[in-house]
Structure 1
Amino acid sequence: MEVGGVLHMNAGTGETSYSNNSHLQKKVISMTMPIIEEAMTNLYSSTSPSSLVIADLGCSSGHNSLFVVSELIKIVEKLRQESGHQSLEIQVLLNDLPGNDFNTIFKSLPSFQKNLSSQLEAKDAGPYFFSGVPGSFYGRLFMRKSLHFLHSSYSLHWLSQVPEQIENNKRNIYIASTSPPNVLKAYHSQFQRDFSTFLKCRAEEMVTGGRMVLTFIGRKSEDPTKEKSSNSMWEVFALALNDMVSKGLIKEEKLDSFNIPHYTPSLSEVKSEILEEGSFSIDRLEFSEISRSIYYKEYNHSDVSKIAANSVRAVAEPLLVSHFGDGIIEEVFCRFTEILSEHISQENILEITNLIISVTKK
């Protein structure tokens, strides 16, 4: 499956939209903010730029992306005032795949800019320019040596395509405990190709000394089949699809030909690719962890299984519709929610391990 034409988060602002089901992603960004601030501070202190170009890759419908942009601008303005420098123009480039809901971002920009202006103390701050950049980040997106700062959160665990020759991964939709060894190898190889390509493209586009901060779902174990926290949600979803097969609502061969274009790498796998590509020096490479259940309860979401199911639906529904059609969607997510509630007490099922990478362009 080539995912460029079908992978996108659920659009709009409805109950199952990404906009309404990505608060946990914002929490992860907030947890990463000290590293983002450190990277931007080091960039500004070492270069004192008269203008900045900032890119956010995988911006989706925008509110999390604009939150990052807002914080970055505040950091820059604070540093600028402390240094006594003149105001600088900032270009913000928001990227995602062509099917992304860019309209929701663009509609929110006037109120975003108004709110940002009210939060900044300096009257001479800005101006700020915003552009949408549709396209896959597993290819070139920007002009050579044009980017100063690049951010991406919860995007790079999506692959450019489903790995090839994994037809024997029957009744599974991702790496599972029952997956044959070739499936693990195929997923890892696809990640290596994709992440290497990503790094090569960004190396072309970033200025020397530019900073890049990436956050994506990863794993602690070197063996993907033993990392329940990164795989368990897809394994539970596979149970729902298998239940649909047993009821005759999905053909078995249709399920066997469906796999998720998703990979959660280990820290060593990420480090290896960065060192192999060679264009970036590593400033930070570390883990963070978050529990869906604890986070949802903090925000008074009593039905954890329903909220968790909606979060999966917000990111996976377009892929499912493309493969199975939209006729099964309501039934499969109803069944998924039921099965998830039965497994909710299972150890680590709602735990998420994040990898945070901060690098500098050599």
Structure 2
Amino acid sequence: MDVTQVLHMNGGDGDYSYSNNSLLQRKVITMTKPIIEDALANLYCAMNFPKTLIMADLGCSSGPNTLLVMLELVKSIDKIRHRLGNDESPEIQMYLNDLPHNDFNAIFQSVSTFQKSLRKQMMQNSSSLPPCYVSGVPGSFYTRLFLSKSIHFVYSSYSLMWLSKVPEMINTNKGNIYMSRTSPPSVIKAYYEQFQRDFTMFLKCRAEEMVRGGRMVLTILGRQSDDPCSKECCYVWDLLAKSLNDMVAEGRIEEEKLDSFNIPQYTPNSKEVITEVEKEGSFAINCLEVSEVNWDACTKDNLNLSEKDDQGYNMGKCMRAVAEPLVLSHFGESIIEEVFERYTNNIKICMSKEKTKLVNVTVSMTRKR
């Protein structure tokens, strides 16, 4: 599997698009807003009211969350500027990065909507519109993306758990598609070592691209447990594995095909994140927080109880928007509908019986001087 070719969220605005099925991710962005504002305030003060700010959203995907991030970053800077009594708005350059097969067309088409939303909110606050310029940057964030010492602020949410490649394994991860209780120890080790290599490379690349004293806020899908196979981080993939294994048992999928499919993801705990940051050495950690979000966050808050009975269905659509390109590239189009129908049913059963959650690790850092 060439991850750079197949790892992207479902584009467009259809029923299974990421654009229409990313409420859970939106909730996480909102939860981490205070950390982002604190990092921006410290950056703005340390730079002594800069006239230009260059910011990057890495793994931006497409849809309303991309607009939300841009809007919140610009609004935060404007609020900080007012609070500190600075009359002049800085010019803001916003770089939006994701892998080449991301739906960049949808992003570019929505820039005018972003500008209108920004103008409306600035007028409500009796504030002038900050000059803001938007550019797309296709490419892997495990490589260099920007000029040396050019970026002031880096942001990423729910992207860095994705690995640059499926780990190379000396043993088959039989019957599994991710780390699991039944995975051989060598598989667990391969996943962790791939995370270490990738996260270190990410930090090295950003260290070269960021100005001294620049700030970076990362939110990574993670775990609280020391066990990399704990339910909190693996359950959502175990349910997809169960769906695929049932189809193997029924002769709908070849066993060898399943055994050669593995999800390129690693969900670290806070200790693992801290260890890699300190080992790489270019950044100082300002704060690190661990939070939780329930699977039912993918359902709108204003739904009544009868509508919320479909929470499992909504989570199934959320996961389809994320996982379908990976499943499609490996198993082909003919089984897609059946796979995700079974997967959604397994999610619904799970959510009807227990409270399910995801864990987020959010870290705010400064590029050392």
TM-score by length of 1: 0.96
Letter of the 1:94 partner, please give it.
Answer: L
Q: Judging changes above 3 Å, is the alpha-carbon distance between structure 1 residues 105 and 294 closer, same or farther for their aligned structure 2 residues?
A: closer
Q: How high is the sequence identity, in percent, across the aligned residues?
A: 56
Counterpart of 2:346 in structure 1 is 339
Q: How much does 1:86 deviate?
A: 1.9
> Deviation at 1:347?
4.1
Q: Do the aligned residues in 2 keep the contact of 1:63 with 1:105 (CA within 8 Å)? A: no
Aligned pairs (5 A) from 1:183-198: 183-198=187-202
- The answer to whether the aligner puts 1:355 opposite 2:361 as a matched pair is yes
For structure 2, which runs of at least 5 residues remain unmatched after alignment? Answer: none
Report the residue type matching 2:181 in the other structure. Answer: S
Alpha carbons 1:157, 1:263 under 8 Å: kept: yes
- List per-residue Cα deviations over 1:149-192 (Å, max 9, x = no partner): 11100000100000002542101000011111001100000000
Q: Deviations 1:284-327 (Å, cap 9, x if unpaired)?
A: 11200011136637342431111111111101111111111111
Q: Which amino acid aligns with 2:169?
A: Q
**Shift of residue 72 of structure 1?**
1.4
Q: Which residue of 2 aligns with 1:252?
A: 255
Q: Determine if contact 1:305/1:340 at 8 Å carries over to the other structure.
A: yes
Name 1:17's counterpart in structure 2.
Answer: 17
Number of residue pairs matched? 360
Query: Cα distance 1:354–1:242, how it changes in 2: closer, same or farther (>3 A)?
Result: same
Query: Is the 1:54–1:91 contact (alpha carbons within 8 Å) kept by the matching residues of 2?
Result: yes
Give the letter aligned to residue 273 of structure 2. Answer: V
Partner letter of residue 193 of structure 2? S
Contact 2:7 2:99 (C-alpha < 8 Å) held by counterparts = yes
DSSP 3-state at the match of 1:214 = strand
Q: Assess if the C-alpha contact under 8 Å between 2:180 and 2:234 holds in 1.
A: yes
Counterpart position of 1:176: 180
- CA separation of 1:125 and 1:337: change in aligned 2, threshold 3 A: closer
> Paired residue for 2:154, among 144, 150, 154?
150
> What letter is aligned with 2:212?
T
CA–CA separation in structure 2 for the residues paired with 1:195 and 1:275: 12
For residues 272 and 179 of structure 1, the distance between their equivalents in structure 2, rounded to whole angstroms, comes to: 25
Among candidates 322, 330, 342, match of residue 315 of structure 1: 322
Compute the RMSD of aligned alpha carbons. Answer: 1.4
1:209 to 1:272, Cα distance in 2 relative to 1, 3 A: same
Which amino acid letter does the alignment assign opposite residue 187 of structure 2? Answer: V
Cα deviation for residue 87 of structure 1 reads 2.4
Correspondence 1:236-251 to 2 at 5 A: 236-251=239-254
| Residues 181-229 of structure 1, C-alpha deviations (whole Å, 9 max, x = no match) | 001100000000000000000000100111100001101111112x211
How far is 1:342 from its partner? Answer: 2.5
1:340 counterpart letter in structure 2: I
After TM superposition, the score normalised by the length of structure 2 is 0.94
- Whether the 8 Å contact between 2:21 and 2:298 is mirrored in structure 1 is no
Instruction: Give the Cα–Cα distance (whole angstroms) in 2 for the partners of residues 88 and 172 of structure 1.
Output: 50
Contact (CA 8 Å) 1:282, 1:358: kept in 2 or not?
A: yes
Equivalences for 1:45-60 in 2 at 5 Å? 45-47=45-47, 48-60=49-61
Contact residue 167 and residue 257 of structure 1 kept, 8 A: no
Q: Is the 8 A contact 2:298 2:318 kept in 1?
A: no
- Per the alignment, residue 105 of structure 2 pairs with 103
Query: 2:29 maps to which residue?
Result: 29
Instruction: Measure how far apart 1:117 and its partner are.
Output: 1.1
| In 1: Cα distance, 2:351 partner to 2:184 partner | 27
Aligned positions of 1:225-304 closer than 5 A: 225=229, 227-293=230-296, 296=299, 298-300=301-303, 301-304=308-311
Matched, 1:328 2:327: no
Contact kept, 8 Å, 2:298 with 2:314, in 1: the verdict is: no
1:164 equivalenced with 2:164 (yes/no)? no
> What is the aligned partner in structure 2 of residue 88 from structure 1?
90
User: Does the aligned pair in 2 maintain the 1:88–1:125 contact within 8 Å?
Assistant: no
SS of structure 1 residue aligned to 2:32: helix
- Measured after TM superposition, the shift of residue 231 of structure 1 is 0.5
Amino acid paired to 2:202: F
Residue 223 in 1 paired to residue 230 in 2? no
Q: Secondary structure at the match of 2:299?
A: helix
1:31-90, Cα deviation, whole Å (9 max, x unpaired): 000000000011001112110001001111142122122111112112223422422211
The runs of 5 or more residues in structure 1 that have no matched partner are none
Q: State which drifts further: 164-173 or 323-332.
A: 164-173
AA matched with 1:102: F
